[in-house]
């Protein structure tokens, strides 16, 4: 039986104790990818020089630390999240975002600075439907600390 969102949050908070800044974000994304059984977990922000592009600050792939990347926001769910809206698509992602070939599910939440301005995204993406119904609840539990870590990066 899969862990409940509350149990995932509790386990991850314990595992992340003592981390801060980029180390916190890196450990968080690896933990999210493993706990939620997703292909990717990442923190990204909009590229200030190229408004149609996002860039990952940290990324995990299949539960391991991955390489950062730059991606086109025009056909990506992160675009809505950078606009300030949380977004969860538990399955059939390519029906909504045709450019997301080979990916099935997405959940992302905006990361806001102290003034409420969106400074980034915390997201998970899977090549199969989400195993847990409340993925967004898990992400939301880490939004504040992730935003602080991103602001200091």
CA atoms of 87 and 52, how far apart (whole Å): 19
Task: Spell out the residues 6+ positions from residue 73 whose beta carbon is closer than 8 angstroms to its own.
Answer: 46, 52, 53, 54, 79, 82
Nearest to 46 by CA among 97, 84, 82: 82
Radius of gyration of the chain (CA): 14
pTM of the model: 0.95
Tens digit of pLDDT for each residue in 3-13? 899 999 999 99
CA atoms of 116 and 118, how far apart (whole Å): 6
Tens digit of pLDDT for each residue in 7-59? 999 999 999 999 999 999 999 999 999 999 999 999 999 888 888 899 999 99
């Amino acid at each position: 039986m899969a862990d409940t969102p509350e149990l995932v949050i509790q386990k991850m908070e314990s595992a992340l104790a003592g981390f801060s800044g980029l180390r916190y974000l890196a450990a968080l994304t690896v933990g999210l990818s493993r706990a939620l059984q997703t292909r990717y977990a990442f923190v990204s922000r909009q590229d200030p020089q190229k408004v149609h592009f996002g860039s990952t600050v940290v990324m995990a792939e299949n539960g391991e630390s991955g390489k950062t990347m730059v991606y086109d926001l025009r056909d990506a769910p992160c675009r809505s999240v950078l606009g300030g809206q949380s977004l969860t698509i538990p399955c059939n992602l390519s029906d909504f975002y045709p450019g997301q070939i080979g990916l099935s599910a997405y959940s992302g939440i905006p990361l806001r600075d102290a003034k409420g301005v969106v400074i980034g995204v915390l997201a998970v993406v899977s090549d199969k439907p989400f195993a847990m119904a409340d993925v967004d609840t898990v992400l939301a539990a880490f939004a504040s600390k992730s935003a602080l870590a991103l602001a200091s990066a």
